Amino acid sequence: MAAYKDYYKILGVGKTASDAEIKKAFKTQARKCHPDMHPENEKAKWTEKFKDLNEAYTVLSDKQKRTIYDQVGEQGYQDFTRGGGSSRTNGAGYGGNPYQQYQQYTYNGNPGQGFGGFSGGNGQFSGADFSDFFQSIFGGMGGGFGGFGQNFGRSAAAGQSSGDVEAELTLNLEDAHRGGNMQMTIPNGRTVTVKLPAGVSEGKKIKLKGMGNPTRRGQGDLYLIVKIRPHAMFRLEGEDLSVPVVIMPWTAALGGTISVPTLDGPVQVKVPAGTHNGKKLKLSGKGLSAKGSLFVTLTIDVPRTLSREQKDLFNKLAQLG
């Protein structure tokens, strides 16, 4: 059996941390651990760290998964592993696996779509990249779509029939931007294909007709409410995105071309001469959807070490200034 993972320690928060504290910790750690923020020869190491971070956030940001994780606990999991995979606690009735009761939903992204993954390093990482520890507890619940969580079965908005229910559908930013078809098995046992529109926004409701609870008048509908995870690099505001980019002093003074990350890959952007620290550039059509924009905030970096020639040039600039 896999070793126990302390998700709280991985995120650097206490066990009583609020949702806001968990979200803040993830964003802070993700910026540090994102593979794209490190040299090529270190990407493999940071990719693994980022996977652990993503997995920890997947569990602790989801109320149902966090409750399950806390209920299992380190001692309970170790008791289970010492028993060779058979529970000495309350596993009876679940085929020897005390966590089988939690493994009731499955989420399957179409091949190549990358649903449930996160972008970083050299490619996409799907739900299959979640650790054996995660799989041993949550099994088919997966991580990419966040699960239906405890919201499934909740009555939908007032005015709808009692058979209608709502559930959260948690997406990574890249998946929400890209859209596409997703296969998923819903709690009534049916496997359905959900078509996500490209650029689907937070709070958007996707209706699955006849997939809700049965009523005397017929079958109700299932409403999937889109939730988008925080991203390590981009900040989402409506359909707009913002990203910080560091430039060197000479680029700011003289102007030049820089590489800017977008959800569709890096693009070349011209920086005007005389750019000040904090200046924002707007890239229309590069937001969450084609209607959104990407706002690039430029930060001027000062080299930590200078060659003798560079020092001489800066001294000359100081004398001229």
Instruction: Establish if 55 belongs to a structural domain.
Output: yes
CA distances from 156 to 106, 147, 153, 165, 241 (A): 22, 17, 9, 5, 30
Query: Which of 172, 196, 228 corresponds to the end of one domain?
Result: 228
Q: How far apart are CA 199 and CA 173, in angstroms?
A: 9
Q: Do 131 and 62 fall into the same domain?
A: yes
Beta strand segments in 41-179, E: 106-109, 118-120, 123-125, 154-155, 165-171
State residue 189's pLDDT score. Answer: 64
Residue 68 pLDDT class (50, 70, 90 cuts): confident
State residue 81's pLDDT score. Answer: 65
> Which amino acid would we find at residue 30?
A
**Helix (H, G, I), strand (E, B), or coil: what is residue 296?**
strand
Q: How far apart are CA 217 and CA 161, in angstroms?
A: 9
State residue 139's pLDDT score. Answer: 58
Instruction: Establish if 273 belongs to a structural domain.
Output: yes
Contacts of 218 (CB under 8 A, 6+ apart): 163, 210
Over residues 289-297, mean pLDDT: 95
Query: Which of 228, 258, 280 corresponds to the end of one domain?
Result: 228
Instruction: Establish if 137 belongs to a structural domain.
Output: yes
Quote the domain boundaries for residue 74: 7-228
Instruction: Establish if 12 belongs to a structural domain.
Output: yes
**Helix (H, G, I), strand (E, B), or coil: what is residue 195?**
strand
Q: Do 160 and 256 fall into the same domain?
A: no
Instruction: Establish if 178 belongs to a structural domain.
Output: yes
State residue 277's pLDDT score. Answer: 92
State residue 204's pLDDT score. Answer: 92
Q: Do 78 and 33 fall into the same domain?
A: yes
Q: Do 79 and 129 fall into the same domain?
A: yes
Over residues 106-117, mean pLDDT: 31
Beta strand segments in the chain, E: 106-109, 118-120, 123-125, 154-155, 165-171, 180-185, 191-196, 205-208, 214-215, 218-219, 222-228, 235-237, 240-247, 256-260, 267-271, 280-284, 293-300
pLDDT at residue 8 tops 90: yes
Q: How many CA atoms lie within 13 A of 301 on its CB side?
A: 10
Residue with tokens 């750019």: 275
Q: Do 153 and 251 fall into the same domain?
A: no
Instruction: Give the CATH number for residue 118.
Output: 2.60.260.20
Concatenate the DSSP letters of all residues of 225-285 into one string.
Answer: EEEE---SS-EEETTEEEEEEEE-HHHHHH-EEEEE--TT--EEEEEPTTPPTT-EEEEET
Q: Do 197 and 114 fall into the same domain?
A: yes
Residue with tokens 């084609």: 290
Over residues 254-273, mean pLDDT: 93
Beta strand 267-271 with 256-260 is antiparallel
Q: Number of structural domains, the chain?
A: 2
DSSP 101: G
Over residues 293-320, mean pLDDT: 87
Instruction: Establish if 145 belongs to a structural domain.
Output: yes
Q: Taking Cα atoms as reference points, which of 279, 271, 272 lies closest to residue 299?
A: 279
Q: Do 149 and 208 fall into the same domain?
A: yes
> Which sign, positive or negative, has the C-alpha torsion 289, 154, 165, 110?
positive
Instruction: Establish if 115 belongs to a structural domain.
Output: yes
Q: How far apart are CA 269 and CA 260, in angstroms?
A: 7
State residue 209's pLDDT score. Answer: 87
Query: Which of 212, 228, 244 corresponds to the end of one domain?
Result: 228
Distance, first Cα to last Cα, the chain? 66
pLDDT tens-digit profile of 189-234?
677 888 889 999 999 999 988 888 887 778 888 888 888 988 878 9
pLDDT at residue 312 tops 60: yes
Of the spans 12-26, 118-132, 147-161, 172-186, which averages the highest pLDDT? 12-26
| Bigger pLDDT: 45 vs 103 | 45
CA distances from 42 to 22, 27, 50, 118 (A): 26, 21, 12, 18
Q: What is the pTM of this model?
A: 0.54
Q: Do 21 and 124 fall into the same domain?
A: yes
Over residues 10-18, mean pLDDT: 93
Over residues 140-146, mean pLDDT: 38
Q: Do 177 and 304 fall into the same domain?
A: no
Over residues 174-201, mean pLDDT: 82
**% helix, strand, coil for the chain, step of 5:** 35, 25, 40
> Which amino acid would we find at residue 271?
V
Q: Do 84 and 167 fall into the same domain?
A: yes
Q: Taking Cα atoms as reference points, which of 185, 191, 188, 193 lies closest to residue 214?
A: 188
Q: Do 221 and 241 fall into the same domain?
A: no
Residue 129 pLDDT class (50, 70, 90 cuts): low
Q: Do 111 and 204 fall into the same domain?
A: yes
pLDDT at residue 236 tops 60: yes
Q: How far apart are CA 88 and CA 95, in angstroms?
A: 12
Instruction: Establish if 68 belongs to a structural domain.
Output: yes
